[in-house]
């Protein structure tokens, strides 16, 4: 395998157009904000872009198909597969490898860029390398602050660890060398200015145009196909452990009744039927800043409450919770899930292609966010996507969340598993026929959707790229 691979080799560049570099020391396909930056640079600045990132997931089709965008994948040895106890040993080797490959790509592989836009975090070594490259190639150096690298490192090493302290100093010192700065919240902007003397502009995450509410026909078409995915996942995680007194039948019966899952949400005419399960969606990277034990406990509490109501003669519906994403903590969650019998809820974990994710959000009844932020200064992108699709959200509380989720207007805020359990029971009651409280929250997302990413980028970010 070659260390640096450039996609769409052989495509001729126009010498008349300016060139920019977008640097992500991570999986570019799982960095939606940086993908949107890339497209905006091409469209708004009539420029070409070299994306320098680690290989991984496929970006959106608009990037893959755009001849003005080249992606340079930097291969890194699989250090992440080594045990955590070896971190102090392999971390310096990993950093040195990344230094060499970043310098090679930025200095010798891509053409001299007019500007370099880098995602932070991660911070080490990419901030220093991009600053050095910008000096050497006389480029503008723009930092997009998503969070802070030292706070993420503190999750695994502890906030008093020497490496965390060194990382914080490095991030502050090198960060101040940026020519222009963007950030994701006003709280982060205030922190950067007050603590680090960095003047940033807030560019809120906004959904692109393909995150939108679905028309009924689109929803029915997607759910007919998605039902088959649901059945495969139910079989994989062991759906046969259901309680006999619940509304979910045994897996074999459910498979037969729904024609292999096709008719789980729609009837034989491919139209939404009145007995479909309520659909709850959450998205995660399965990292320590999202505790999915909260969701699991909330589901168990809600399930027990529904069982008690059923004993008193109150008919209960079915609820399907879909958790999307990949990450290190997924296996442990699935193991616990497979051994826990539930009567009225089902939980499945899936990985969707980027084209299907907006369709799932547009088809769902309720979203759940468990993002708490290592710094308390960033906002969950998943909620932005959900609002873009008109999906109201139950979100766990943390500082600055109110910059996005407005209690009682476009979502609900909780601080414990019991709180989430109560909110789900309240908002899902009466579905799929209807729930007025849920409908009101859905209408509340319309205000957020009025401003899209392109509009916000044009006002806030575009001037940053035109300062030279």
Q: 396-416 pLDDT, tens per residue?
A: 999 899 999 999 999 999 999
- Over the chain, what is the mean pLDDT? 88
Tokens representing 335 are: 């193991």
Q: 335-393 pLDDT, tens per residue?
A: 777 778 889 999 998 988 888 999 999 999 999 999 888 888 999 999 999 999 999 99
Q: Measure the CA–CA gap between 204 and 186, rounded to whole angstroms.
A: 9
**pLDDT for 253:** 74
Q: Report in angstroms the alpha-carbon separations of 105 from 50, 56, 72, 73.
A: 10, 18, 8, 9
pTM: 0.85
Q: Measure the CA–CA gap between 266 and 259, rounded to whole angstroms.
A: 11
Across the range 252-279, mean pLDDT stands at 80
Q: Measure the CA–CA gap between 206 and 443, rounded to whole angstroms.
A: 17
Q: Measure the CA–CA gap between 446 and 91, rounded to whole angstroms.
A: 45
**pLDDT for 245:** 59
Task: With beta carbons less than 8 A apart as the criterion, state whether 117 and 37 touch.
Answer: yes
Choose among 19, 49, 54: nearest CA to 36: 49
Q: Residue 99, SS3?
A: helix
**pLDDT for 327:** 74
pLDDT of 3 higher than 80:
no
Q: 189-210 pLDDT, tens per residue?
A: 999 999 999 999 999 999 888 8
Tokens 């959900």: give the residue: 386
pLDDT of 156 higher than 90:
no
Q: Report in angstroms the alpha-carbon separations of 143 from 176, 200, 216, 338, 400.
A: 10, 9, 41, 43, 21
Task: Give the CB-side neighbour count of residue 100, counting CA atoms within 13 A.
Answer: 9
**pLDDT for 210:** 86
Across the range 61-75, mean pLDDT stands at 93
Choose among 181, 144, 140: nearest CA to 20: 140
Tokens 């529904």: give the residue: 306
- Alpha-helical (H) ranges within 105-140 are 126-137
Instruction: Write the CB contacts of 133 (distance below 8 Å, at least 6 apart in sequence).
Output: 102, 103, 106, 107, 116, 139
**pLDDT for 85:** 63
Task: With beta carbons less than 8 A apart as the criterion, state whether 290 and 302 touch.
Answer: no
**pLDDT for 80:** 58
Tokens 């809820």: give the residue: 345
pLDDT of 94 higher than 50:
yes
Across the range 59-79, mean pLDDT stands at 87
- Top-confidence residue, 28 or 95: 28
Task: With beta carbons less than 8 A apart as the criterion, state whether 279 and 318 touch.
Answer: no
Across the range 175-185, mean pLDDT stands at 97
Residue 5's H or E segment, with its range, is: strand 4-6
**pLDDT for 289:** 66
Across the range 449-459, mean pLDDT stands at 92
**pLDDT for 287:** 72
Q: 293-324 pLDDT, tens per residue?
A: 899 999 999 999 999 998 888 888 899 999 99
Task: With beta carbons less than 8 A apart as the criterion, state whether 286 and 327 touch.
Answer: yes
**pLDDT for 166:** 95
Tokens representing 250 are: 């045994």
Q: How many residues does the chain have?
A: 468
Strand partners, 74: 4, 54
Most confident residue range from 8-22, 92-106, 251-265, 417-431:
417-431
Which range (81-85, 250-254, 458-462) has the least confidence? Answer: 81-85
- Top-confidence residue, 299 or 467: 299
**pLDDT for 115:** 97
Across the range 37-52, mean pLDDT stands at 97
Instruction: Please confirm whether the linkage preceding 122 is cis (ω < 30° from 0).
Output: yes
Across the range 321-333, mean pLDDT stands at 82
Q: Report in angstroms the alpha-carbon separations of 418 from 15, 164, 200, 424.
A: 60, 34, 38, 10
**pLDDT for 90:** 65
Concatenated DSSP letters for 35-62? HHHHHHHHHHH--EEEEEEE--S---HH
**pLDDT for 84:** 63
**pLDDT for 238:** 65
Q: Measure the CA–CA gap between 235 and 242, rounded to whole angstroms.
A: 12
pLDDT band of 8, cuts 50, 70, 90: very low
């Amino acid at each position: 395998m070659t260390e640096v691979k450039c996609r769409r080799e052989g495509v001729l560049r126009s010498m008349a157009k300016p060139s920019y570099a977008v640097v992500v020391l991570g999986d570019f396909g799982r960095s939606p904000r940086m993908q949107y930056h890339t497209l905006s640079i091409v469209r708004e600045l009539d420029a070409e872009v070299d994306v320098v990132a680690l290989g991984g997931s496929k970006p959106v089709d608009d990037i893959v198909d755009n001849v003005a965008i080249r992606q340079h994948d930097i291969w890194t040895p699989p250090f992440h597969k080594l045990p955590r106890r070896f971190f102090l040993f392999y971390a310096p080797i990993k950093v040195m490898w990344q230094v060499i490959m970043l310098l090679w790509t930025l200095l010798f592989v891509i053409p001299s860029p007019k500007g370099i836009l880098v995602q932070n975090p991660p911070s080490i070594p990419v901030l220093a390398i991009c600053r050095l490259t910008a000096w050497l190639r006389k480029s503008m150096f723009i930092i997009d602050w998503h969070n802070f690298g030292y706070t993420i490192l503190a999750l695994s090493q502890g906030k008093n660890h020497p490496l965390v302290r060194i990382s914080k100093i490095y991030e502050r010192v090198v960060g101040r060398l940026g020519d222009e700065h963007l950030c994701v919240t006003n709280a982060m902007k205030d922190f950067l200015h007050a603590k680090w003397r960095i003047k940033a502009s807030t560019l809120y995450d906004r959904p692109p145009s393909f995150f939108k509410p679905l028309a009924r026909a689109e929803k029915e078409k997607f759910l007919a196909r998605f039902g088959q995915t649901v059945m495969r996942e139910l079989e994989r995680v062991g759906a046969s452990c259901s309680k006999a007194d619940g509304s979910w039948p045994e897996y074999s019966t459910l498979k037969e009744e729904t024609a292999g899952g096709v008719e789980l949400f729609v009837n034989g005419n491919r139209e939404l039927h009145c007995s479909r399960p309520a659909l709850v969606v959450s998205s995660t990277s399965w990292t320590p800043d999202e505790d999915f034990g909260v969701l699991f406990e909330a589901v168990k509490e809600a399930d027990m409450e529904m069982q008690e109501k059923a004993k008193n003669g109150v008919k209960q519906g079915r609820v399907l919770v879909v958790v999307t994403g990949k990450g290190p903590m997924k296996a442990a969650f699935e193991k616990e899930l497979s051994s826990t019998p539930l009567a009225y809820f089902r939980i499945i974990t899936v990985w969707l292609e980027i084209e299907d994710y907006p369709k799932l959000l547009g088809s769902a009844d309720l979203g759940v966010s468990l993002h708490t932020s290592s710094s308390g200064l960033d906002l969950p992108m998943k909620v932005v996507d959900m609002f873009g699709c008109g999906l109201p959200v139950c979100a766990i509380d943390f500082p600055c969340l109110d910059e996005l989720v407005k209690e009682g207007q476009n979502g609900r805020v909780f601080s414990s598993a019991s709180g989430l359990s109560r909110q789900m029971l309240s908002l899902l009651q009466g579905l799929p026929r209807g729930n007025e409280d849920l409908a009101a929250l859905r209408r509340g997302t319309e205000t957020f959707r009025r401003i899209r990413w392109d509009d916000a980028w044009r006002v806030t970010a575009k001037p940053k790229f035109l300062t030279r």
